[in-house]
Copies of this chain bind each other. A is one copy, B any other.
Amino acid sequence: MTRPLPAGQHTVRRHNSALVLGAIAESPGSSRAGVAARTGLTKATVSSLVDRMVAAGLVSDTGPEQRTGPGRPGSALFLSPAGPHGLGLEIGVDYLATCLVDLTGTVRRRWVRPADHRNAPAGAVLAEAAGVVVGALAEAGRLGVRVGGLGVAVPGLVEAATGLLRVAPNLGWRDVDVPAELRRAADLGDLPILTGNEANFAALAELAAGGPADFVHVSAEIGIGAGVVVGGTVFEGVHGFGGEIGHFAVDPGGPACSCGGRGCLERLAGQDAILRDADAPDVDTLVERLAADDPAAGRAVGRAARWLGIALGNVIGLLDVPAVVLGGAYARLHPWLADPLTTELGTRVLSSAWSPVSVLPSVLGGEAAVRGAAASAVRAIVADPDPFVEAAG
């Protein structure tokens, strides 16, 4: 609210529309008067902006708000499921996933396509991904909804200042301009595209799905990603490179890793390492064997818990966050991982006697990253709705 406003009625309206829609997003079911009180705008201004956004399909006005106080009840305002949708795309090492989400966060469509992207050229993979996006846009068209933005989750370091994917070790990619490659492969018009690290997107999605205000989300797929949430905000680091945990050196004398280091967490406790250790062909089989109390499977998970305990013990000692959320393949292993990991952390974290660490399963599991990518597109729409109101008018 203290952001300086350049002159011009249109600019002021754009700013105020964002304030109003942000207030409705934060407190669904508010009345026009409630929004006016929270934003500091006059009721007349709020009413006029709300009316435009109702007409454009961004806001729904669903009758009297729930209220117990005196006075005539105002009508209750919500983000509208008919408004522009956010599309999430995840470039996994062994799959492509997309997810179409409305302004309220409801998932309208999901697609996952298995693939093998290890060491595949970025151009080819992103051309395939662009095809998937075109298909998703067509499906959105059939549903009668507009897609207002695309969030792309990638398993690598995304530089905040440039938006470039600087390195994705498990893909073998360096310095890729993901939006430019997608646009080169398909006509995506003026669709806004935002690229981000999959682990940070996953943490954002877990937070939005009701996660605690302070946690480390650690997720195993081919690699291991972490997203740090402090005070309800994803901590991305100074350049956007934060949250790297896969190449934590947990055993400096251990096996060589593709990154050039030795004994990296990913190499010892990643999905592939656990499956190899348990001699299981896939996670489904591993889970079956764990459920049947297979000792070899149990030992493999126990060893992974020890390596995870070393890395996460260091993270928690440094950041003092009281919860670990296990995502990706770890979410499925939670019933067997949680106890040994909790024990490891209790031993390793000096402060755990006064601040015990909870080990929680992810709510969204393997879907978290693509959900977070879609949610980031929705956030961008809510942060600047006026172009969508204009386009609808």
Contacts and interface: CB of A to CB of B under 8 A. Distances in A.
Task: Point out which of A238, A239, A249, A251 has the most chain B C-beta atoms below 10 A from its C-beta.
Answer: A238
Nearest to A309: B249
Given A237-B321, A318-B315, A320-B237, A244 B310 contact: no
A245 B349 CA distance: 11
Nearest to A167: B350
A86 B112 CA distance: 61
Contacts of A351: 157, 166-167, 239, 241, 244
A348 interface: yes
B317 A238 contact: no
A245 B318 CA distance: 6
A164 to B, nearest CB: 9
Interface residues on A, range: 35 or more
Given A237-B321, A320-B237, A248 B350 contact: no
Nearest to A162: B354
A214 B228 contact: no
A236 B320 contact: yes
A155 B319 CA distance: 17
Interface string A221-243: 00000101010000111111111
Interface string A258-282: 0111000000000000000000000
A74 interface: no
A313 interface: yes
A243 B315 CA distance: 9
A311 B248 CA distance: 9
- Copies of this chain, tallied across the complex: 2
Given A236-B320, A244-B317, A252-B310, A167 B347 contact: no
A167 B226 CA distance: 29
A355 B238 CA distance: 10
B354 A318 contact: no
A85 interface: no
A311 B250 CA distance: 10
A318 B244 contact: yes
A247 interface: yes
Contacts of A243: 318, 320
A169 interface: yes
Contacts of A248: 314, 317
Contacts of A230: 238
B249 A348 contact: yes
Given A236-B320, A315-B318, A321-B238, A159 B354 contact: yes
Contacts of A167: 350-351, 353
Contacts of A228: 318
A8 B241 CA distance: 49
Interface string A306-328: 00001101110111111000000
Contacts of A239: 320, 322, 351, 354-355
A70 interface: no
Nearest to A212: B238
Interface string A273-314: 000000000000000000000000000000000000011011
6 contacts: A235-B319, A239-B355, A241-B317, A248-B317, A249-B310, A315-B318
Closest 3 CB pairs of A and B: A237-B320, A244-B317, A241-B351
